[in-house]
Amino acid sequence: MNLLFLHTSSILGGSERSFLDLLNGISRDPSFELTIALPSDGPLREEAQAIAPQSRLARIPFPGYTERATQKNPWLSLLLLATAAAPLGRYIQSYKTLLQSRQIDCVYSNGIKCHLSSLLLRRFRDFRLVWHLQDFFPTVPYVRAFLNLHKRGPDAVIANSNAVLEQFREIMPKHWTPNLSTVYNAVDPNTYQPGRFESNEIVVTIVGMLTPWKGQHLFIQAATELSRLFPEAKFMIVGDEVYKTQGETGYKSHLQDLVRSGGIEDRVEFTGFVRDLSGIYARSDIVVHASLKPEPFGRVIIEAMSCQKAVVATRGGGVPEIIRDGVDGVLVDMGNASQLSAAIRRLIEKKDLRESLGRQARARVLSQFTSSHFSSQIIEILRCL
Ligand code: GLC
């Protein structure tokens, strides 16, 4: 099968890391010829090349306006849209050439922009189409209208949680009949191993892109309160700003201001982007996930669980499908700073609880979320198309 992977960006976020897990499995299967289209150079490209050196990489930039058109000034947006016609034409043309020269018979798309453009590409070639939904689908009317314009949708839709799948089922055009399935993300339990570097500190860590909806500001609020109570507690913020979208830059400096005004500069470490997270988990005792809106899945949660860490996470989206509250982690309400800090406090105080949640968490990952299972499920879906 000549398979083309479409990707929204070359950064390394959760959905890209789950794609690398798939690539790892599928690249060992000689019945697939792989082509990977990426919009730019970046860590994802390097990792993909290392995992599947035999695959063909194509660099097809997204027309720039797709990001910048969200700017607040409507005149500027209009101007950007008007100047986007030529790049958009070139973009479509590059894909047309790629689809034909590589004789693509299946397209696997990862990311909303790619899902939408994959429908347009069907005009040039009749391929089987698989959408891997790693996010909730936008519900804005023009997106739904765009979907409805297409008689034929994807042949298969894979969601990273039942929450994401159910939301898609509701907004999907009624005349589409894809094969729908949930395939949970997974980790390699040998890479994400239990263990803790020797230390007298208690390290509480949050991992994820620095963006307001991931809730790092609530984490800092809890850190400010808990630093006073526990001199041995340290707080680690792992990740960086990635998206250039409106409203998302400047968040990192806002977080740094919060740390300064809370007087906890000596207790909080900003590590920046970290490619290999296993070392981060090995320095941590408690891992926090603080998303303010429903998290589609929450890949870092299973990474931390695999490393036998006690996890505090917010109850929304796919997260309750992973963590059973009080059994293999702790759930708190989204956006509730006092619940979040109370839950962290309990875990700082109770070593036994931390350890037993960690053990249960590891067992849960081993039974439900291992990567070999993940890629074989997706390969099976591709074979049945
Ligand atoms: C996206 C989602 C995240 C999920 C990841 C992998 O980044 O926001 O919740 O864990 O994809 O599916």
Structure pTM? 0.91
Q: Please give the distance, rounded to the nearest whole angstrom, from the Cα atom of residue 1 to the centre of ligand 1.
A: 27
pLDDT (tens digit per residue) in 117-142? 899 999 899 999 999 999 999 988 88
For the record, the structure tokens of 363 come out as 């067992």
Which pLDDT value is given to residue 248?
Answer: 56
Q: Which amino acid is at 18?
A: S
Contact 185, 369 (CB under 8 A): yes
Pocket test for ligand 1, best of 11, 12, 15, 291 (most atoms within 8 A of CB): 15
| 3-class state of residue 20 by DSSP | helix
Dist. CA 15 → ligand 1 center (Å): 5
Testing ligand 1's pocket by substitution, the residue of 277, 299, 319 carrying the most ligand atoms inside 8 A of its CB is 299
Q: Tell me, in angstroms, the distance from the centre of ligand 1 to residue 8's CA.
A: 13
Give me the amino acid identity at 74: P
CA–CA separation, 67 vs 78, rounded Å? 13
- Round to whole Å and give the CA distance between 96 and 110: 19
How much distance in Å is there from the Cα of 295 to the middle of ligand 1?
Answer: 7
- How many Å apart are CA 9 and CA 6, to the nearest integer? 9
Is the CB of residue 204 less than 8 Å from the CB of residue 210? Answer: no
Kindly report, residue by residue over 30-62, the tens digit of the pLDDT: 999 999 999 888 899 999 999 999 999 999 887
- What is the DSSP track for 16-44? HHHHHHHHHHHTT-TT-EEEEEESS-SHH
Residue 17 CA to ligand 1 center (angstroms) comes to 9
**For strand 128-133 and strand 156-159, is the pairing parallel, antiparallel, or unpaired?**
parallel
Alpha-carbon span 238 to 236, nearest angstrom: 6
Give residue-wise pLDDT tens across range 177-208.
999 999 999 999 999 999 999 999 999 999 99
Nearest CA to ligand 1 atom 6: 15
Cβ pair 292, 281 in contact under 8 A: no
Q: Give the whole-angstrom CA distance, residue 302 versus residue 262.
A: 31
Ligand 1 centre from 303 Cα, in Å? 12
Top-confidence range, 78-87, 242-251, 376-385:
376-385
Ligand 1 binding pocket, CB closer than 6 Å? 13-15, 18, 134-135, 160, 185, 295-299
Q: How confident is the model at residue 12 (pLDDT cuts 50, 70, 90)?
A: confident
- Mean of pLDDT values over 277-300: 97
Which of 18, 157, 214 has the most ligand 1 atoms within 8 A of CB, as the residue to mutate? Answer: 18
